[in-house]
Amino acid sequence: MTAAPEIITITSYEEAKDTYRQKDLRQALYDAGEVIMADVLVNLHGTAHRDRRRLENRLFRRDTFELYEHELFPPLIHQTLEPHVRTGRAELVDLGHQLMMNLAASTAGVDRPLGTPEETFRLYDYLRSFIEGATLAHFTGDRDAKRSEVAAKLAEFDAEFVAPSIARRRGLADAGETLPRDVLSILLDNQDQLDLPHEVVLREVAFYLLAGAHTSATAFTRVTHNVLQWLERHPEDAEAVRTDRRFVQRCTHETIRLQPSSPVAMRWALSDVELRTGRTIPTGAKVVIDLLSVNRDTSVFGPDAESFDPRRQLPDGVPAYGLSFGSGMHACIGQDLAAGLAVAASDPDGDDASGSALLGLVPQAVQALFDHGVRRDPDNPPEMDESTTRPYFGRYPVLFGA
Ligand code: HEM
């Protein structure tokens, strides 16, 4: 029997940043989740990671963010919200997943030829299965059976969504037309140059769907909840929610700091690694970065670091969302897309020379709720998700209108 690895937990902000920087610490979070996560970006290391990241970075640039934020996302947000606004009510947990999955599908390159609610539901079913596949390490039932089930779902997803999306892009390329700006197009365009068999392209697309959708959906409900609670205590900010587009963005960053969508990062030490604090991580040890503690480090976020305050003042260089998007080589590629660009003190409106500020898709979607007068349903209080020990809402009923 091999001895259990030593586990080192990092809880302070500076030590966490230093840990993320270390090149000899390798991804450890998805060890049991290879059915979805084998060879996907977040699981690669060294030059394989660098080459894939360099390629995909081409998509995650300012011009793409502007295209998504100003042209592609607003109609998607409108279409997803509209039926609920018409009936005057919604359940935010499902709505958030549908909304963010639709947005993530367009970033990943999963075409939606029908655009019907049934199609959204089937895609959502695949997404739930991929989340289970990626997090098999925490699964308490029969893991082999679950792994086979997820593999079968992945094959169905390929036949129903990915293969037709690939065929459409190949057709466009053959006809000399421009490909849509998404991860799948980038991978197809460079499939020969990098070693990218179809199975890897399929998993990368499935991974982008879950990386973009689940994290943002969780944030969506929590931000809305935090803003509603804040307004109960600070009715004077009701005006800011309607008129100051940056206010909801600051609430989003503060929520993501306090309630990181991925509460831990994990790494394996490939060699002895010495941190600046003098702490040594021996070869073979597992490092756990505990983001709930790191993002509440009072030496950085102040004595009231535990509390929600969208007007919190931060030291220079410290992002308002703390380290919830990671840092170093695996830093979230979608963070500016999800949360926008933080506003520089010298540019309080956030409008730079190009005149187009980036709010981010989570603030944009939450803002759309408040633009429609979202409020709690007094007869249906929110409920927590009892199937997990993590603090997720299970149901969050809301009403629209004044
Ligand atoms: C609130 C929303 C989000 C949160 C909190 C979040 C969080 C994170 C975190 C913590 C990591 C680093 C994991 C690690 O160090 O092991 C990460 C990586 C990543 N995220 Fe996000 N994410 C969000 C939204 C998105 C979106 C919208 C996309 C895609 C459009 C995305 C795509 C990725 C990818 C591809 C990686 C892997 C990067 C690499 O390994 O080089 N994320 N994310």
- pLDDT at site 345: 44
The reply to whether 270 falls in a domain is yes
Average pLDDT of the segment spanning 232-256: 95
The reply to whether 393 falls in a domain is no
Q: Is 215 in the pocket of ligand 1 (CB under 6 A)?
A: yes
The reply to whether 383 falls in a domain is no
Other C-beta atoms closer than 10 Å to the C-beta of 318 total 15
C-alpha 331: how far from its chain's center?
Answer: 11
Residues 6+ apart with CB under 8 A from 354: 66
The reply to whether 385 falls in a domain is no
pTM score of the predicted model = 0.94
Distance between start and end Cα atoms, the chain: 64
- Mean pLDDT rounded to a whole number for the chain: 92
Residue 86 burial class via C-beta count within 10 angstroms: exposed 0-12, middle 13-18, buried 19 and up: exposed
Tens digit of each residue's pLDDT (9 = 90 or more) over 64-95: 899 989 998 899 899 889 999 999 999 999 89
Residues 6+ apart with CB under 8 A from 13: 294, 295, 297, 299, 300, 301, 318, 322, 323
The reply to whether 1 falls in a domain is no
Query: What residue's CA is closest to ligand 1, atom 37?
Result: 42
Boundaries of domain holding 246: 7-373
- pLDDT at site 384: 85
Tens digit of each residue's pLDDT (9 = 90 or more) over 55-66: 999 999 999 899
- pLDDT at site 354: 43
Question: Which atom of ligand 1 is found nearest the CA of 261?
Answer: 5
How far, in Å, from the CA of 383 to the mean position of ligand 1?
27
The reply to whether 151 falls in a domain is yes
The reply to whether 392 falls in a domain is no
The pLDDT of residue 402 is above 80: no
The reply to whether 188 falls in a domain is yes
Local confidence band at 192 (pLDDT 50, 70, 90 cut-offs): confident
Of 36, 47, 232, nearest in space to 130 by CA: 36
Instruction: State the Cα–Cα distance between residues 93 and 311, nearest whole angstrom.
Output: 26
Instruction: State the Cα–Cα distance between residues 125 and 136, nearest whole angstrom.
Output: 17
Which CATH number goes with the domain that contains 202? 1.10.630.10
Query: What residue's CA is closest to ligand 1, atom 43?
Result: 332
Domain count, the chain: 1
